[in-house]
Chain A
Amino acid sequence: MRKISYAQAGMEALVEEMRRDPTTFHLSTDAPDALVEEFGSERVRATPIAEGALTGIAVGAAGSGFRPIINWSMVTFSFVAMDQIVNQAAKIHYMFGGQVKFPITFRTSVGGGRRVAAQHSQSPYSMFMNLAGLKMILPSTPYDMKGLLKTVIRDDNPVISFESNRLMGVAGEVPEEPYTVPLGKADVKREGSDVTIVALAWLVHEALAAADVLDKEGVSVEVLDPRTLVPLDCDAIRASVQKTGRLVIADEAGPTAGASAEIAAVATEDVETFAKMKAPVKRVCALHVPIPYTPQLEDHVFPDRDNIVAGVREVMNV
Chain B
Amino acid sequence: MALTQEKQLEMLRIMQTIRRFEERASDDYRAGDIYGVVHCYIGEEAVATGVCAALNSDDQIISTHRGHGHCIAKGADLKRMMAELYGRETGYCKGKGGSMHIADFSIGMLGANGIVAGGIPIVTGAGLAAQLEGKGRVAVSFFGDGASNAGPFHESINIAAAWKLPMIYVCENNLYAASTPAASTLAHSDVAARAAGYDIPGVVVDGNDVMAVYDATQEAVARARNGEGPSLIECKTYRWRGHTERVGAADPRPQGEIRAWQERDPIERFVAGLMDQGCITQEAWQEMDEEILAEIEEAVQFSKESPFPDLEAAVEDVFAE
Q: Is B158 a contact of A65 with CB atoms below 8 Å? A: no
Residues facing A in B112-166 (CB within 8 A) are: 113-115, 118, 120-130, 132-133, 139, 151-152, 155-156, 158-159, 162-163
Contacts of A55 in B (CB 8 A): 121
Q: How far is the CB of A22 from chain B (nearest CB, A)?
A: 10
B143 to chain A, nearest CB (A): 13
**In the complex, which residues of chain A have a beta carbon less than 8 angstroms from the beta carbon of B120?**
56
The answer to whether the Cβ of A178 comes within 8 Å of any Cβ in the partner chain is no
**In the bound complex, do residue B317 and residue A98 qualify as a contact, i.e. CB atoms below 8 Å apart?**
yes
Q: Does B111 contact A (CB under 8 A)?
A: yes
Contact string, A53-78, partner B, CB cutoff 8 A, digits 1/0?
A: 11111111111111010000000000
Question: What chain A residues lie within 8 Å of B114 (beta carbons)?
Answer: 87
Cβ of B123 and Cβ of A60 under 8 Å apart?
A: yes
Segment at the interface with A among B23-31, B100-108, B222-230: B100-108
A-side contacts of B3, CB under 8 Å: none
23 contacts between A and B (CB under 8 A): A48-B162, A52-B155, A53-B152, A53-B155, A56-B120, A56-B152, A57-B124, A60-B121, A60-B125, A60-B128, A61-B126, A64-B130, A88-B118, A88-B122, A92-B111, A95-B96, A95-B101, A96-B101, A97-B97, A98-B94, A98-B316, A99-B105, A133-B319
Interface pairs A-B: 6 shortest CB-CB: A56-B121, A60-B125, A53-B155, A98-B317, A64-B129, A57-B125
B155 near A59: Cβ-Cβ < 8 Å:
no
Tell me whether A57 and B152 are in contact in the complex, defined as CB-CB below 8 angstroms, given that A93-B319, A96-B97 are known contacts. no
A156: chain B residues at CB < 8 Å are 319-321
**A residues whose Cβ falls under 8 Å from a Cβ of B:** 25, 42-43, 45, 47-48, 50, 52-66, 68, 83-84, 87-88, 92-103, 132-133, 135, 156-157
Asked whether B92 lies within 8 Å of A52 as measured between CB atoms, the reply is no
Contact A97 B125 (CB under 8 A): no
Say yes or no: A83 contacts B118, CB within 8 Å. yes
Whether a CB of chain A sits under 8 angstroms from the CB of B60 is: yes
A54–B152 Cα distance when bound, in Å, is: 10
Q: Which residues of B contact A57 (CB under 8 A)?
A: 121-122, 124-125, 128, 156, 159
Instruction: Report which of B121, B129, B155, B159 forms a contact with A65, defined as CB distance below 8 A.
Output: B129
> Are A83 and B159 also in contact (CB < 8 A) when A58-B125, A132-B318 are?
no
Report how far A156 CA is from B187 CA in the complex, Å.
42
Shortest distance from the beta carbon of B18 to any chain A beta carbon, whole Å = 21
Contacting residues, chain A, for B168 (C-beta < 8 A): none
Inter-chain contact A96/B152, CB cutoff 8 Å: no
Which residues of B have CB within 8 Å of A59? 121-122, 125
The answer, among A42, A61, A84, for a CB contact under 8 Å with B129, is A61
Closest to B94 in A: A97
Residues in A with CB closer than 8 Å to B133 are 65
A88 touches B115 (CB 8 A): yes
Of B62, B97, B126, the residue contacting A95 (CB under 8 A) is B97
Q: Number of B interface residues, CB 8 Å?
A: 48
Q: Are B96 and A94 in contact (CB under 8 A)?
A: yes
On whether the beta carbons of A25 and B132 are closer than 8 Å, the reply is: yes
CA distance in complex: A100, B92 (Å)? 12
Asked if residues B129 and A66 are in contact (CB atoms below 8 Å), the reply is yes
Inter-chain CA distance A132–B94, complex, in Å, is 18
* B110 adjacent to chain A (CB < 8 Å): yes
Given contacts A56-B121, A60-B122, A97-B317, contact A87 B115 (CB under 8 A): yes
B47 within 8 A of A: no
Q: Is the CB of A52 within 8 A of B60?
A: no
Quote the shortest CB–CB distance from A270 to chain B (angstroms).
Answer: 20
Q: CB-CB < 8 A to B151: which residues of A?
A: 52
User: Are B122 and A97 in contact, CB atoms less than 8 angstroms apart?
Assistant: no
Q: Nearest B residue to A87 by beta-carbon distance?
A: B115
Pair B124/A60 contact, Cβ less than 8 Å: yes
Neighbouring B residues of A133 by C-beta, 8 Å: 318-319
B163 contacts across to A, CB distance below 8 A? 45
Question: How far is the CB of A97 from the nearest CB of chain B, in Å?
Answer: 4
Say if the beta carbon of B91 comes within 8 Å of chain A: yes
Bound Cα distance A68, B122 (Å): 13
Q: How far does the Cβ of A83 sit from chain B's closest Cβ, in whole Å?
A: 6
- Inter-subunit contact A87/B118 (CB<8 Å): yes
Partner of B156, one of A25, A56, A87, A95: A56
Residue in B97, B106, B121, B126 whose Cβ sees the most chain A Cβ within 10 Å: B121
* A47-B159, A93-B318 known; A84-B118 Cβ under 8 A: yes
Q: For A84, list chain B residues within 8 Å (CB).
A: 118, 121-122
Q: How far is the CA of A63 from the CA of B114 in the complex (A)?
A: 18
Residues of B within 8 A of A52 (CB): 121, 151-152, 155
User: Are A60 and B126 in contact, CB atoms less than 8 angstroms apart?
Assistant: yes
State whether A53 touches B317 (Cβ < 8 A).
no
- In the assembled complex, the CB of A30 is this many whole angstroms from the nearest CB of chain B, namely 16
Residues of A within 8 A of B115 (CB): 83, 87-88
A43 to B163, CA, bound (A): 12
Q: How far is the CA of A7 from the CA of B60 in the complex (A)?
A: 38
Q: Is B211 an interface residue (CB 8 A)?
A: no
Contacting pair B104 A99 (CB below 8 A)? yes
Residues of A close to B92: CB separation below 8 A? 96-97, 99
Residues of A within 8 A of B175 (CB): none
Contacts of B105 in A (CB 8 A): 63, 96, 99-100
A97 to B111, CA, bound (A): 11
Q: Chain B contacts of A65 at CB under 8 A?
A: 129, 133
Q: Does B55 make an interface contact (CB < 8 A)?
A: no
